[in-house]
Structure formats: structure tokens, C-alpha cells
Amino acid sequence: MATSHPYVRYLAIALTIFTSLEMLQRADAQLHQPAMRYIESNGIKMRIAEAGSGPLVIFVHGWPESWYSWRHQLPALAAAGYKAVAPDMRGYGKTEKPRAVEDYDIHHVTADLVGIVDALGEKKAILVGHDWGAIVAWQAMLLHPDRFSALVAMSVPYSGRGPQSLVQSLKSSFGENFFYILYFQEPGIAETEFDADPRAILSRLYLSPDSPREAPRVTDPKRAAGGWIPRLGAPKSLPSWLTQDDLDYYVAEFKEAGFRGGINYYRNFHRNWESTPQLSGAKISAPVLFLAGDKDVVIRGATAEGLTASMRNAVPGLRAVKLLPNTGHWVQQERPAEVNAEIVEFLKGIDRK
């Protein structure tokens, strides 16, 4: 029998190794896929996704999102040796949705996070928050400093308690013109618009900065000219980081849950400010990493140096500000590998100190 050429043998060995590694990676990913269950927290039933074991890391989503926004982070953190948990926040997904607006104030939603720590039998947790989840996480660090040991905040920085509430500032700036946060203050209006067509609002929001859009149907800046959906151009295609199945999952969740609960967080901006005078001058000394896309509209073109300077006084524990290039608001979904690496590096750095 003829002996095969050495190159052929080497190629066969290489293919075998590659196939084995691929199978191992798939098995590892499957091993760390999150499991879903319900817990009691702060008087409500919450649905959580959890994966892994080790130090507890709680992922806090923003608006309009769900636990699913952390689908890329949970397996990665579990593989890195952490217990990664992502709840549907109060008012979202399969978590309970109290009726009263005031049940969504900062005291309730931060106490929900404390309740998750208690329900899981832990004394402390690390927080990772994006968008409204970052707002809740920043405030949890201030209101419950003995329960949360570190923070990764995404998209929304913190520079201290302002001299007036955000709603007051926006009313002074926008007057009769449309701005979504002011629109959300109108009882029952925004959720009625979005509940009627969840896919329309979600598909217009879950885009990259350079995503192609149709022209908006409403261009008049006055609030009286219409709601939010017609002011946002319809997408011509999904961004590369969002599959049709991903969008369908979000749409199904909001079709069932509605938008009222999430919008009620915005309706508490002024109440939150009025009810936390004790936080004037309060500082966060625990370790903090800030992450955002450099094209995120929330940071309005700020540089890492500028964000560091703006946060340093209120957040002396700030370790680093990382801006991912050519990335928009949905940073952990747009750039999951980079975000996961930054989170793990930050947490391992804390462990070493």
C-alpha cells in the first residue's frame, strides 16, 4: 500500500485538532448557557437567567430591553468563574409589574437588586448595568454600599447629584419641542403608542449609528406634531449584531409585558431626585469601570479623558473609562467579545488586589 504524503498526514492531523477544538468550544458554550427560574425579591416575583458559579455578578438591563440583552455576557462570565445573573427588571418580561408609578422609583428598583442578592444566599454582589440599568446600578452603589462591591457601568456616566432633576432641566431646554423623556412623562401616552406596534419602536431603536433608515414621517420638532415612532426613520435592514430571531424575541416579550413598566422608570426621575437629598456630595469609592461606544448618543461625543474628569469627583473608585470605537448605544450587543474581555479583565484585576 502506498504511503500518503507527509503534507496530507499533517493536514489530516490539523483538521482533527481544529474539529476537536471547535467541538470543545461548542460544548463549553452549551455548558454555560443560562437557566431560567423565578425568585422572590423585595415583595415581587422576578424572572432571572443564571449561569456558572463563583462570585455573584448581576447584570442590569435598560430600556427597552430584558435579560436577553446580556445573552452574550452570561456564558462568558460563567466560563470565567463567576455566577452570572440577569433579571428581567421590575415591569419587564416575565417579572411582576406593579400598577403604581411610584412603585418604580429608585428605592424600589435598587431594593430589587438587594433582594436578588438575598434570594441567592449571598452577602454582596458585583453590578453590571447598561442604560437605565446603569442608572439603577449607580444608585444602588450609593444607597446600598454594603451590598455591592464593584460596578461596570455602560453608556450612562455619573457625575453626582445635580442641583435640579433631569426632568426640570429638560423642560427648560426643550419647552414645547419633542424629547422622548418628556414625552414619557405624559400619563398613558407613550405606552399606548408602543403597545400598538412593538416591532416598530424596537426595530427603530435597535440600530447602529450608521444603520440605513427611511426618512422619518414627522419632522416638525413640536410635541404636538406626533409621537416618537414617526420621528424615527424605519430601518432598511437589521444591524449585523441583531438577528431576526433576536428581534422577534424582544418583540414577543414586549407584546406580552407591554411598555408601561419600563416607561414608569422615566416617570420617577423627579421623584428620585426629590427623595434622595442625602446623596448630595456622596461618593462611590468601590472599584468602577465605565464602558461605552464612542458613537453612543448618550455620551454626546465625549472623550475618555473628558468622561474621566467629569466622574472623578463623584466616583473616586473609577479605575478606567473605555470607549469602543465605531460603536453605538447597544454596546454589549454590538461588541460582545470586547465587552466580555473588558469586564473579565476588570473583575480579575479586582480579585488580584
pLDDT digits 0-9 by tens, 138-160: 999 999 999 999 999 999 999 99
Query: What is the CA angle 208-212-216, rounded to 5?
Result: 105
Percentage with pLDDT > 70 across the chain:
91
Pairing type for strands 83-87 and 288-293 reads unpaired
Q: 218: which DSSP letter?
A: -
To the query of whether residue 108 is one of the catalytic residues in this protein, the response is no
Say whether pLDDT at 69 is over 50: yes
Q: Which domain holds residue 151?
A: 31-352
Would you put residue 304 in left (φ > 0), alpha (ψ -120 to 50) or beta? alpha
| C-beta separation of 84 from 77 below 8 A | yes
Nearest Cα residue to 350 out of 275, 263, 289: 289
Backbone angles phi, psi at 94, to 5 degrees: -95, 5
- Active-site choice (88, 103, 105, 131): 131
Say whether pLDDT at 66 is over 80: yes
Say whether pLDDT at 27 is over 60: no
- Please count the CA atoms within 13 angstroms of the CA of 23 that sit on its side-chain side: 6
> Is 1 within the bounds of a domain?
no
**Cell reading at 186:** 405624559
Give the per-residue pLDDT at 15. 72
First to last CA, the chain: 63
**Cell reading at 282:** 456622596
Q: How far is the CA of 316 from the CAs of 14, 68, 134, 149, in angstroms?
A: 50, 32, 17, 14
pLDDT tens column, 261-270: 999 999 999 9
Nearest Cα residue to 182 out of 94, 123, 270: 270
Quote the CA–CA distance of 158 and 135 in Å, as a whole number.
8
Nearest Cα residue to 322 out of 352, 353, 351, 345: 345
| C-beta separation of 59 from 136 below 8 A | no
> Is 105 within the bounds of a domain?
yes
Q: What kind and span of H or E run contains 127?
A: strand 125-130
Tell me, what CATH number does 252's domain have? 3.40.50.1820
> Is 14 within the bounds of a domain?
no
Peptide bond into 157 cis (omega under 30): no
Number of domains in the chain: 1
Q: How far is the CA of 352 from the CAs of 58, 79, 345, in angstroms?
A: 20, 18, 11
Q: How far is the CA of 164 from the CAs of 114, 169, 270, 276, 280, in angstroms?
A: 27, 7, 9, 12, 11
Give the per-residue pLDDT at 2. 47
| C-beta separation of 141 from 133 below 8 A | no
pLDDT tens column, 308-343: 999 999 999 999 999 999 999 999 999 999 999 999
Average pLDDT over residues 128-133: 98
- pLDDT-derived band at 33 (thresholds 50, 70, 90) equals confident
Nearest Cα residue to 202 out of 136, 262, 265: 262
* Least confident interval from 25-29, 120-124, 227-231, 254-258: 25-29
Say whether pLDDT at 105 is over 50: yes
To the query of whether residue 329 is one of the catalytic residues in this protein, the response is yes
> Is 6 within the bounds of a domain?
no
| C-beta separation of 331 from 296 below 8 A | yes
> Is 16 within the bounds of a domain?
no
Give the per-residue pLDDT at 32. 74
Quote the CA–CA distance of 207 and 198 in Å, as a whole number.
15
pTM, to two decimals: 0.91
> Is 7 within the bounds of a domain?
no
Quote the CA–CA distance of 284 and 316 in Å, as a whole number.
6
> Is 201 within the bounds of a domain?
yes
> Is 15 within the bounds of a domain?
no
Cell 473628558 found at: 306
Give the per-residue pLDDT at 28. 52
Quote the CA–CA distance of 252 and 15 in Å, as a whole number.
41
Q: 55: which DSSP letter?
A: S
